[in-house]
Chain A
Amino acid sequence: DTAVSQTPKYLVTQMGNDKSIKCEQNLGHDTMYWYKQDSKKFLKIMFSYNNKELIINETVPNRFSPKSPDKAHLNLHINSLELGDSAVYFCASSQTQGYNQPQHFGDGTRLSIL
Chain B
Amino acid sequence: LAKTTQPISMDSYEGQEVNITCSHNNIATNDYITWYQQFPSQGPRFIIQGYKTKVTNEVASLFIPADRKSSTLSLPRVSLSDTAVYYCLVGEVNYQLIWGAGTKLIIKP
Contact = CB atoms under 8 A, between A and B. Distances in A.
Interface of A: 4, 40-45, 48, 55-56, 90, 92, 97-108
Interface string B42-67: 11111001010000000000000000
B43 A99 contact: no
Interface of B: 31-32, 34, 36, 38, 41-46, 49, 51, 85, 87, 91-97, 99, 101-102, 104
Contacts of A40: 101
A105 B36 CA distance: 10
Contact of A105 (B45, B85, B96, B104): B45
B41 A100 contact: no
B43 A41 contact: no
Contact of A99 (B36, B38, B41, B93): B93
Which A-B residue pairs are the 5 nearest by beta carbons?
Answer: A105-B43, A99-B91, A100-B32, A102-B46, A43-B99
A16 B38 CA distance: 31
A107 B95 contact: no
Nearest to B95: A99
A48 to B, nearest CB: 8
9 contacts: A40-B101, A43-B87, A48-B95, A97-B95, A99-B91, A99-B93, A102-B46, A102-B49, A105-B44
